Amino acid sequence: MTVKTSIPQDEKLSAGHLACQGCGATLAMRYALKGLGTDTVLVIPACCWTILAGPAPLMSVGVNVVHSPFACAAATATGVSHGLRARGNEKTAVVAWAGDGGTFDIGIQALSGAADRDEDIIYVCYDNEAYMNTGIQRSGGTPAGAWTMTTPGAAGAERPKKDLDAIIEAHHPRYMATATPAYPEDMVRKFKKARDIKGFRFIHILSPCPPGWKYESDETVMLSRLAVQTGMFPIYEVEEGRFKLNVPVAKRKPVAEFLRRQGRFRTMGEPEVAAIQARVDAAWDALNKRA
């Protein structure tokens, strides 16, 4: 009668939310809540999830939500965490849930402060690589060569993606990890694990976005998987400084397989693709030395 599934069947994400067709960020939230459980408070700054959480009193998540201003998801989460702990509540997980704009750019000061103070929060960045909620403007998370509304023309974004994971790791967090919706078991496990650790935890989720990346909505999971299999987005975790590669990719696919499926890289030439391939190769050499 009961079917065995690889992730918990209990559902905290409610259907009827306002995300675009094939949204990667809703999958991320779905898996995150499966790992975190209901004893959780979400702190959401301006991002797509501000909308997706629902217009009150309607809610698309079965947990408490605090909406925060753009720059201070980590600071607001710090306050919520301190408030709960002062009342003797040691077990409710406080989760800051921000997009890449609210993490890489606008919220980085509050994030850096919270990480440095080792606040008892989980900071999650669901990274769709641009300001998608306001209509696809370039952020620090946008990769070089990508078209956005503010990087028009054939060349796309000039600057490479900011290496946020290195910035966070330099803060010596208790736990940090990367995840993406194509690997739900891995993501659920990481949220479960992060929940049981005290202190500052950080999870970086690559979240494909059909309108922003310009692909058909059915390819969300496929692109998420390709990002890992091409080596563009390695899946790993760092626990108290110990590095572990969770999805080893024995034979990496060419990055072109990931790039050529997306309209935002449509005008990218072969030399630019080769440059990205070289950058990914170098990054993997460094990763393999750590693993």
Partner 1 sequence: MPRLTEDPLKTPLIIAGGKPMSANKTGNWRSARPVIHEEKCTGCMICWKFCPEACVTIEGELPKIHMDWCKGCAVCVQECPVDAITLENEEAP
Binders of partner 1 in range 12-31 (CB under 8 A): 13-19, 21-24, 26-27, 30
Tell me how far, at minimum, the Cβ of 18 lies from partner 1, in Å: 7
Toward partner 1, which CB reaches closer, 50 or 151? 50
Does residue 206 belong to the site contacting partner 1 (CB under 8 A)?
no
Look at phi and psi of residue 146 and say left if phi exceeds 0, alpha if psi is from -120 to 50, else beta.
beta
Q: Which is nearer to partner 1, 27 or 276 (CB)?
A: 27
Among 116, 158, 163, 218, binds partner 1 (CB under 8 A): 218
- Among 76, 220, 230, 262, interactor with partner 1 by CB under 8 A: 220
Which position among 37, 51, 64, 243 is part of the footprint of partner 1 (CB under 8 A)?
A: 64
CA nearest to 78, candidates 29, 123, 124, 32: 123
Say whether residue 90 binds partner 1 (CB under 8 A): no
Residue listed under structure tokens 């459980």:
37
Q: Are 35 and 12 in contact (CB under 8 A)?
A: no
Bridge partners of 96, per DSSP, are 43, 123
Q: Which is nearer to partner 1, 57 or 152 (CB)?
A: 57
How remote is the C-alpha of 270 from its chain's centroid?
29
Distance CA 32, CA 26 (A): 10
Long-range contacts of 260-263 (CB under 8 A, 24+ apart): 261/215, 261/219, 261/222, 261/223, 261/226, 262/213, 262/214, 262/215, 262/223, 263/147, 263/213, 263/214, 263/215
- How big is the site for partner 1, counted in residues (CB under 8 A)? 46
The letter for the amino acid at 207 is S
Handedness of CA 5, 178, 278, 241 (dihedral sign): negative
Which member of 51, 221, 245, 273 binds partner 1 (CB under 8 A)? 221
Q: Mapping DSSP to helix (H, G, I), strand (E, B) and coil, where does residue 144 land? A: coil
Q: Does 7 bind partner 1 (CB under 8 A)?
A: yes
65 vs 203 by CB, closer to partner 1: 65
Q: Cβ closer to partner 1: 116 or 216?
A: 216
Minimum CB separation of residue 17 from partner 1 in Å reads 5
Site for partner 1 in 158-197 (CB under 8 A): 181, 184
Q: Is 91 in the site for partner 1 (CB under 8 A)?
A: no
The residue among 198 and 290 lying less far from partner 1, judged by its C-beta, is 198
How far apart are CB 275 and partner 1 at their closest, in Å?
Answer: 30
* Given 222, 247, 249, 287, the residue binding partner 1 (CB under 8 A): 222
DSSP 190-217: HHHHHHTS-S-EEEEEE---HHHHT--G
**Number of C-beta neighbours around residue 156 at 10 A:** 21
Among the residue ranges 56-64, 123-131, 257-265, 267-275, the one whose residues contact partner 1 (CB under 8 A)? 56-64
The site for partner 1 (CB under 8 A) is made up of 1, 3, 5-7, 9, 11, 13-19, 21-24, 26-27, 30, 38, 54, 56-65, 86-88, 181, 184, 210, 216-222
